[in-house]
């Protein structure tokens, strides 16, 4: 068992002894593509929790930048990308060029622009020491610590949907 420290200072045990952990790796604080995806998680967070899944999201941003975002789940700062390396999460210069990423990228930029103009979100930092081209990754970790399912994204918006996450959790509980 390990204990991660969330941006708000909370201790987050991995694994969680009582439920599955959905450990997802995003890019940086304020990433429009990440924010678009996380809004689907926020909207259905109660449903995810009711399914016995704890949401934990890792960003390669410092805690100070992550504290600006009010999210109902644990947000872990990993500015040196130690966890990214440990879990084998990759970077790809082509992450934004994949045709399946184009529509989500446009939607994400439009959504983010509106939220910044309305002063409901901050703009991302001008520079990202760890880059902007990371790929998403998802891991479902059982209470015994085993990774029971995983997905490594092939482009910037290639991650589990909430429905896919819930289906994986249901399969594990039934099997």
Ordered by start, the domain boundaries in the chain are: 2-170
54 to 69, 75, 163: CA distances (angstroms): 18, 12, 15
The pLDDT assigned to 174 comes to: 63
Highest-pLDDT range among 44-48, 60-64, 66-70? 44-48
Contact 24, 12 (CB under 8 A): no
The pLDDT assigned to 114 comes to: 75
* Confidence (pTM): 0.84
The per-residue pLDDT for range 17-60, each reduced to its tens digit, is: 999 999 999 998 888 888 889 999 999 999 999 999 999 999 99
Dihedral of CA atoms 127, 131, 137, 140 in degrees, nearest 10, equals -60
The pLDDT assigned to 141 comes to: 97
Q: How confident is the model at residue 96 (pLDDT cuts 50, 70, 90)?
A: low
DSSP per-residue string spanning the chain: -EEEE-TTS-EEEES-TTSEEEEEE--STT-HHHHHHHHHHHHTHHHHHHTTEEEEEEESS-HHHHTTS--SSEEEE-TT-HHHHHHT--B-TTTTTSHHHHHHHHHHHHHHHHHHHTTSSPPPPS--TT-S-BPPEEEEE-TTS-EEEEEE-SSTT-S--HHHHHHHHHHHHH-
CATH code, residues 2-170? 3.40.30.10
Among 27, 4, 3, 16, smallest CA distance to 49 is for: 16
The pLDDT assigned to 58 comes to: 97
């Amino acid at each position: 068992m390990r204990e991660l420290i969330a941006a708000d200072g909370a201790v987050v045990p991995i694994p969680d002894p009582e439920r599955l952990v959905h450990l997802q790796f995003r890019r940086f604080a304020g990433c429009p593509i990440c924010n678009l995806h996380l809004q689907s998680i926020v909207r259905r967070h109660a449903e995810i929790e009711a399914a016995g899944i704890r949401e934990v999201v890792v960003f390669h941003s410092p805690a100070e930048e992550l504290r600006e975002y009010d999210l109902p789940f644990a947000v872990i700062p990993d500015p040196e990308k130690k966890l990214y390396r440990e879990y084998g999460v990759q970077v790809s210069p082509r992450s934004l060029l994949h045709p399946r990423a184009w529509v989500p990228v446009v939607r994400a930029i439009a959504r983010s622009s509106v939220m910044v103009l309305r002063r409901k979100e901050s703009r991302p930092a001008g520079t990202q020491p760890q880059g902007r081209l990371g790929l998403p990754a998802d891991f479902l970790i059982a209470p015994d610590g085993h990774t029971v399912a995983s997905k490594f994204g092939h482009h910037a918006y290639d991650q589990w949907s909430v429905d896919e996450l819930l289906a994986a959790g249901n399969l594990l509980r039934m099997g």
